[in-house]
Each structure stands twice: as C-alpha cells, then as structure tokens.
Structure 1
Amino acid sequence: MTGYSPSWLALREGADAAARAADLLVPLRAALPPDGPLVIWDLGCGTGSLGRWLSGRLRGPQHWILYDDDPVLLDLARANAYVTADGPPATIETRAGDLAGLRASDLVGASLVVASALLDVLTAAEIETVAAATGCPALLTLSVVGRVRLSPSEPLDAEFAAAFDAHQRRRGLLGPDAVTTAVKAFGGRGATVVTRPSPWRLGPGQAALTAEWLRGWVGAAVEQRPDLAPFADDYLGRRLAECAGGRLTVEVHHLDLLALPGGTS
C-alpha cells in the first residue's frame, strides 16, 4: 500500500511531525464525538508515525485500527505505544489489507479516518474507494503537490523535478494530482473539505533525510527519463556535497486535507 521501507519511515518521522498542519486539529476536534472512545482507522499506517503524533493531540479514550498490506510495518507499528492527551495509552489493533478491498461496512463505528503520505501513491479509483467508505471525518496528511525548491538553485533542478513528477504519475498513480482528486471525491459526497500547506523545510539539521531524499528523487527521475542519466551522477554528487557541508536547503511542498461529512462542519 505504501511501499516504504522502515528505515525511510524512521528517517522522515521528525520532518513529517514538524510539517503537519496542526491548525486543522481545531475543526477536527470540534467534529469528533464528545463521548465514548474514539475509533480511529489509520490507512496505510506504515510504522504508525501519524498515530504517535496525533494520539497525543486528542483527548479521551482512543482505539486505533492500523491498516496496511505490509506485515513487517504492522508489526513495527504494533510495538509502539500511543499516549493520549489525557495521559492513558490508547489501545491498538492491526489489520492487514489492501485499500482496493476496503468497504463502508469495514468502517462502521469509525470516529475518524486518517492517513499520512498515502494519497499520492493511489489511483483515482482507490481514492474514490476511500471517500465512498468513509462516513466520518478524515484527516489525510502530507500529500505531495509537485513543488520542490532547492537553494542554491541549479538549471537542472526543474528537469529532475518534472521527471520525478512524471514518475509519480506512472501506471495511473495520481502523484501531485492526488489532493485535487480527493477534494472532488469527498466534496462530491457532501463533505466540507479544507486543505492546508504542510511543507518539509529541510536544512543542515536534517542532512541525513535530505541526502536520502535526494538519492530517491534523482533515482526516480532517471528511471522515468533515462536521458537524464548522463547528468545524474555529477548533479547528485554536487547536491550531496552541499548537503554534507550545510549549504543546501530543500522545500518539499505537501498539502494536508480535512474532510468533514455533511452536518459535522
């Protein structure tokens, strides 16, 4: 479902936490049921980083259902404690499954559906499946939107960025178009949909993450456009040297999306 390695998810967790649009929690809290335990589904949960961030920002008893198709990631997610804003730990269960098989009947009783860095690796049909199955508030975070800025800049930046975006759209995946599709899918079912920017801002303090992101970004670009291969090694070498020397900053733009069903906004 996500296709991410545990090491990559661990490396990005701090940047993800810093980037998420915390102001969306105000309308989210107002839309959640005031009584009884919250039942929260985390789709494509990975190692559970979103749950670790969000559980401590919501009050009251919480039961998290972690949903992913990778049993290794589910085992890692299950091993972590989620602590609520009130102090007691949340309860956790894991379920293995693919989004294509998700049904509204699965989410009966859900108080909230969440996901992180998921929408952009889905197809339009998969986003329609999520929207159709979700009858409660949904908080879908950190979807890329196809805007990257490196400083200092180089002429080749735009070439690699365009190739990377094309790679994200391969085989029908939505990539940078995912948020627009999700807004239409939830809005078409009567939900009030709000988006907020949630950019990574990576500087010298995130050099390890920046370097790993650069390798993946350039690698995906070359996979999509082999004509970039003759320039890739030198380009990547320069960028990694700048990163190691504390001279490179990178902004990777995302959007967070909050969908509130009719009557809860």
Structure 2
Amino acid sequence: MTGEFSSTWLTLREPADAAARAVELVEALRLPAGGELVIRDLGCGTGSMGRWLAPRLPGPQRWVLQDRDPALLAHAAAHLPAAAADGSPVTVETAEGDVTALTVEDLAGTSLVTCSALLDLFTTDEVAALAEVCVASGTPALFTLSVVGEVTFEPEDPLDAEVAAAFNAHQRRAVGDRRLLGPEAVGAAAEAFAKAGATVGVRPSPWRLGPGEAQLTAEWLRGWVGAAAEQRPDLRLDAYLEGRIEAAEAGRLQVTVGHQDLLAQKD
C-alpha cells in the first residue's frame, strides 16, 4: 500500500480532525462489556485517533497501532493517553506492516478496528477484503475522515470547481496495478460491509476552516492544489494557489472540506 505522510502535516491537522469526527457513531458502538478492549488502529500515523478515542471509551484498553512507518509508530506509541474515560489504564503495542493484508487470525480477540483518513488509499478489492475480515471475525469497524470530494470556499473563485475535479481525479489515480478509490471510498466500504452482513451507519465529518485555522488551510491548499496541478498541468495554478493562501493568511477565506465517518458492526 502506498502513501507517505509527514508527522508535521499529521500534527497540524489533528485539532481539525478531532473537531470533525462524528461522536454519535462512537456512542452507537456495541463493544463487549467487562474485560480489556483491544483496539487495532490501522495506518495510525502519529496516533491522533487513539488520542481522540481512548478518552471517550470506558474500561481498560489495549491499542494495537499498525503502520508501515516505524518512526510514526514510535511517536504514536509514546503519545497515547494513559487513561480511559473512567480512569482505567490504556496500554499500547505496535505492529509494523501493510494494513491491507489483515486476516481473521490477526483480529482474533480484537474489540474494534479503526482508522482515520485512510480509506481513500484503498482499492475496491482491498476494501471488500477488509470488510469480509472484520465481519467474519465479528469485529466492529469505525473508519473516520474519509474524503468525499466536496470542497466549498467563501468567497468563491472561478477556478474552484476545476481544481476540485482535478484533485478528485488524482485521488482516483492508478498506482502501479492498484486503482485508488479516492472520494468513492466510503460508498464502496458501506456496500462491502453491508454485503458481508454488517449494519452500516455513515455520518458527515467536515473540516470547517476559518481564520483560526489559517496555517492548516494554507498547508492543505498546497497539497490540494499540488495534486490538482499534477493531474491537470494545463490549468497553470500558481496564481490561484498564491491568491488562495494570501486570502487564508489574511483571515478572508473560509473552507469546508467534506469527509464522512463510517461505523459497521453486526447486530
């Protein structure tokens, strides 16, 4: 599986992620009562999902952090909360490896599988395989902050729609023999989990970026426009990017970036 993310970017986006995630899906989780919860965090990055979710769940927890990057794993393991919602202990272990290769055996004894901003990097077949493994093992899945291809600006610019379309096409690109799902990831996952026999709930989890998030907005714009320019070099987006960043840093730009959260679990 491809996809490399800097710890600087992951740290910068963490407050916006925390504000956006759909808390009602956490409240709808059906987790085993009593005993230790075992939570496997796929593509954990710096551990932001654990920092957000562990304090919201009661009871002792063991987080299994999985990522391909050993430096990110080390950082995440060192920065998870020590206590659950009721003060119970939270412990951590790490697993380096490809998150698309999970088996039913890997999930034996697992209470919950989770990830954040990851599904768009999967293919249709990989999402289907993950759904089958989770449902076959009886493991609920909480997947947050998957992009859905919807971005709105205030004020608008005539190029916004073309840039968004180019970015979305870039998200669906082929990487070797893999065709990424990009904005279709949540729909594909919902279909795959339902087909496997799970009940699926989907909720919006948009970023709402204003003057207080100017640094994040500027960095997001660089990545968003950069991907669009890679897909459509004919657009010549240097002036567009410069103007958008200037507006963000001056506090004159509001951006809503669409995401969705998904919860799948068996009745």
Scaled to the shorter chain, the TM-score interval is over 0.9
What CA distance in whole angstroms lies between the structure 2 residues aligned with 1:147 and 1:92?
A: 35
What CA distance in whole angstroms lies between the structure 2 residues aligned with 1:63 and 1:100?
A: 21
Q: Which residue of 1 aligns with 2:188?
A: 181
What CA distance in whole angstroms lies between the structure 2 residues aligned with 1:251 and 1:81?
A: 29
CA contact (8 A) 2:58 2:88 kept: no
Q: Which residue of 1 aligns with 2:252?
A: 247
Q: Which residue of 2 aligns with 1:39?
A: 38
Equivalent positions of 1:1-265 (< 5 A) are 1=1, 2-28=3-29, 31-82=30-81, 83-134=83-134, 135-171=138-174, 172-229=179-236, 232-261=237-266, 263=267
Secondary structure at the aligned position of 2:58 is classed as coil
Letter in 1 for 2:124: A
CA contact (8 A) 2:153 2:255 kept: yes
CA contact (8 A) 1:99 1:126 kept: no
What CA distance in whole angstroms lies between the structure 2 residues aligned with 1:138 and 1:88?
A: 22
Residues 57-115 of structure 1 deviation map (CA, whole Å, 9 limit, x = unaligned): 00000000001111111011111132310124400000001023211110011000100
What CA distance in whole angstroms lies between the structure 2 residues aligned with 1:48 and 1:223?
A: 30
Secondary structure at the aligned position of 1:72 is classed as helix
CA contact (8 A) 1:44 1:115 kept: yes
CA contact (8 A) 1:201 1:252 kept: yes
What CA distance in whole angstroms lies between the structure 1 residues aligned with 2:80 and 2:231?
A: 39
What CA distance in whole angstroms lies between the structure 2 residues aligned with 1:126 and 1:96?
A: 18
What CA distance in whole angstroms lies between the structure 1 residues aligned with 2:230 and 2:98?
A: 26
What CA distance in whole angstroms lies between the structure 1 residues aligned with 2:43 and 2:252?
A: 35
What percent of counterpart residues are identical? 60
Letter in 2 for 1:167: H
CA contact (8 A) 2:47 2:80 kept: no
Matched length: 258
Range with greater deviation from structure 2 (203-212 or 83-92) = 83-92
What CA distance in whole angstroms lies between the structure 2 residues aligned with 1:160 and 1:21?
A: 27
What CA distance in whole angstroms lies between the structure 2 residues aligned with 1:94 and 1:125?
A: 26
CA contact (8 A) 1:81 1:89 kept: no
Residues 221-258 of structure 1 deviation map (CA, whole Å, 9 limit, x = unaligned): 000111112xx111111111111110001000000000
CA contact (8 A) 1:71 1:96 kept: yes
TM-score, scaled to structure 1: 0.95
Residue 149 of structure 1 and its aligned partner are, at CA, apart by 0.3
Secondary structure at the aligned position of 2:143 is classed as strand
Residues 1-20 of structure 1 deviation map (CA, whole Å, 9 limit, x = unaligned): 54211000000000000000
Residue 188 of structure 1 and its aligned partner are, at CA, apart by 0.5
TM-score, scaled to structure 2: 0.95
What CA distance in whole angstroms lies between the structure 2 residues aligned with 1:52 and 1:161?
A: 31
Letter in 2 for 1:64: W
Secondary structure at the aligned position of 1:105 is classed as coil
What CA distance in whole angstroms lies between the structure 1 residues aligned with 2:249 and 2:100?
A: 41
**Runs (5+) with no aligned partner, structure 1:** none
What CA distance in whole angstroms lies between the structure 1 residues aligned with 2:80 and 2:63?
A: 11
CA RMSD of aligned residues (A): 1.0
After superposing on structure 2, the runs of 4+ consecutive aligned residues of structure 1 that deviate more than 2 Å are none
Residue 179 of structure 1 and its aligned partner are, at CA, apart by 0.4
What CA distance in whole angstroms lies between the structure 1 residues aligned with 2:196 and 2:97?
A: 24
